Amino acid sequence: MKVLVTGGLGYIGSHTCIALHNAGITPVILDNLSNSSIHVLQQLHKICGQTFSFIEGDIRDQHQLEQIFKQQSFDAVFHFAALKAVGESCQQPRRYYENNVCGTVTLLDAMYNNDVTRIIFSSSATVYGEPQYLPIDEQHPISATNPYGWSKVMVEQILADNCQSDSQQLAISLRYFNPVGAHSSGLLGESPNGIPNNLMPYIAQTAVGKRAKVSVFGDDYDTNDGTGVRDYIHVMDLAEGHVAAFTNHQQDSGFLAYNLGTGQGYSVLEIIAAFSKASRQQIPFQMAPRRQGDIACNYADANLAKAKLGWQTKLTINDMTRDTWRWQQNYPQGL
Ligand code: NAD
Ligand code: WQD
């Protein structure tokens, strides 16, 4: 089988290409390199022993997409391509809606015109907004608190309506909680541009001396130690979740949504402690004011994916910190 992987040179897409390859599924990567490097392709070769087909292109380019789908047939599209910075989305909402929402509609049009009926979509726990109960299951009310989150809510709605309009369509929305970690080879990992927004890459850059200290955004939340709690999931577990979703629903149709998380939350201070253990050094940190828009606590009820996909996470927080540290040491400046 062969699948088109949009955004496939990005953090999660590239790791998913490894899992697809290991499952005997051929990935063809489409990426505009707006937030990734072509060097990822050679790293994937070192890990998988072959160079995946790569097309430099944009999901918003209808003509290019039509050409791609006419030149080769695909069993599905794994759709990772998006802009994903929450803060940036608040400053540039139209850019986020144009890229993430309009881009997906253009992709769906090209898929429909060429009889590609299955899509696996990268969604986010951010579609749940402020948790009304925990753990969060797939029945939790949907909302968002920023344009990025709304772009994910909108795409999910578009996918659901698309499936409603055509009984042949299958759309699986995978709602990621907090992806972290790196491939165990140390050859592939997350390379955020500029100052990392996310906790784990910021800790890793502090550990390697690139940042002076970690700012802990708030120590007065209603959590065990007062710091924010999240459901961190190893990127390779996440990648395997994509393969499980695709292989378990090949004969199905309709819109389906699954949480991809561990079901366990860890606080900021617990993550710092785990990283200290992995890197065998104290990670300097300071308490700082809460970050605007942050929630106190968020973790998944991942039982639906376990029941329907036979998938559950295997890797621990120690695997996540160890693999992140190995990657950060190998490539302190990223790829
Ligand atoms: P990433 O930025 O590393 O990867 C996204 C890739 O898409 C990049 O390689 C970028 O160059 C490409 N891209 C962006 N716009 C494009 C376009 N118009 N045409 C073609 N390529 C385009 O991000 P990631 O962390 O790998 O996230 C992948 C997906 O998972 C995104 O949809 C993101 O919203 C979603 N997600 C990420 C997280 C997270 O914490 N990383 C959490 C939940 C959901
Ligand atoms: C985790 C915890 C912070 C940085 C974001 C997006 C979400 C998704 C995943 C795309 C929080 C604290 C962080 C720092 C800190 N991305 N923190 N110091 O905010 O849960 O989710 O990434 O879909 O949409 O919102 O992840 O890693 O930014 O924060 O104390 O320097 O770490 O307050 O409690 P978040 P994060």
CA distances from 132 to 129, 224, 285, 296 (A): 9, 19, 31, 12
Q: Sign of the CA dihedral 258, 298, 152, 15?
A: negative
| Cβ pair 108, 169 in contact under 8 A | no
| Cβ pair 120, 77 in contact under 8 A | yes
| Cβ pair 28, 4 in contact under 8 A | yes
Full residue range of the structural domain in which residue 62 is found: 2-180+233-261
Identify whether 277 is part of a domain: no
With the most atoms of ligand 2 within 8 angstroms of its CB, the residue from 294, 317, 321 to mutate is 294
For residue 242, give both structure tokens: 């994509």
Identify whether 322 is part of a domain: no
Per-residue pLDDT reduced to its tens digit, 112-121: 999 999 999 9
Q: Within 13 Å and on the Cβ side, how many CA atoms surround 145?
A: 12
Using pLDDT thresholds of 50, 70 and 90, give the confidence band for residue 148.
very high
Identify whether 161 is part of a domain: yes
Q: Which atom of ligand 2 is nearest to the CA of 291?
A: 33
- The CATH number of the domain holding residue 93 is 3.40.50.720
Contacting residues for 27 by C-beta, under 8 A, at least 6 apart: 2, 3, 4, 5, 8, 16, 17, 20, 21, 52, 53, 78
CA-based max dimension of the chain: 56
CA distances from 191 to 179, 324, 333 (A): 13, 11, 8
Catalytic annotation on 148?
yes
Beta-ladder partners of 173: 121, 257
Task: Identify which of 65, 2, 77, 74 has the alpha carbon closest to the alpha carbon of residue 32.
Answer: 65
For residue 243, give both structure tokens: 């393969």
Amino acid 294: pLDDT: 95
Ligand 2 centroid to 21 CA: how many Å? 30
Per-residue pLDDT reduced to its tens digit, 284-331: 999 999 999 999 999 999 999 999 999 999 999 999 999 999 999 999
Percent helix / strand / coil, the chain, rounded to 5:
40, 20, 40
In this model, does residue 2 exceed pLDDT 90? yes
Identify whether 266 is part of a domain: no
Provide, rounded to the nearest whole percent, the portion of the chain with pLDDT above 70.
Answer: 100
Identify whether 89 is part of a domain: yes
For residue 263, give both structure tokens: 């079901």
Mean pLDDT of 277-290: 98
Per-residue pLDDT reduced to its tens digit, 200-239: 999 999 999 999 999 999 999 999 999 999 999 999 999 9
Amino acid 173: pLDDT: 99
Task: Identify which of 179, 121, 111, 178 has the alpha carbon closest to the alpha carbon of residue 151.
Answer: 121
| Cβ pair 161, 184 in contact under 8 A | no
Identify whether 49 is part of a domain: yes
For residue 249, give both structure tokens: 């629903």
User: Does ligand 1 have an atom closer than 6 angstroms to the CB of 81?
Assistant: yes
Q: Catalytic pick from 11, 97, 148, 331?
A: 148
Amino acid 193: pLDDT: 86
Amino acid 29: pLDDT: 99
User: Does ligand 1 have an atom closer than 6 angstroms to the CB of 129?
Assistant: no
Per-residue pLDDT reduced to its tens digit, 173-190: 999 999 999 999 999 999
With the most atoms of ligand 2 within 8 angstroms of its CB, the residue from 291, 298, 317 to mutate is 291
Ligand 1 centroid to 100 CA: how many Å? 9
Identify whether 204 is part of a domain: no
Amino acid 299: pLDDT: 98
Mean pLDDT of the chain: 97
What's the CA gap between 185 and 179, in Å, rounded?
18
> How many domains does one find in the chain?
1
Residues with CB under 6 A from ligand 2: 84, 86, 124, 126, 178, 197-199, 202, 214-217, 228, 230, 268, 291, 294
Give the helix/strand (H/E) hosting 31: strand 26-31
Q: Which atom of ligand 1 is nearest to the CA of 12?
A: 26
Per-residue pLDDT reduced to its tens digit, 85-104: 999 999 999 999 999 999 99
| Cβ pair 13, 41 in contact under 8 A | no
169 φ/ψ angles, rounded to the nearest 5 degrees: -80, 140
Give the DSSP letter of residue 78. E
User: Does ligand 1 have an atom closer than 6 angstroms to the CB of 190?
Assistant: no
User: Does ligand 1 have an atom closer than 6 angstroms to the CB of 61?
Assistant: no
What's the CA gap between 99 and 58, in Å, rounded?
9
Amino acid 105: pLDDT: 98
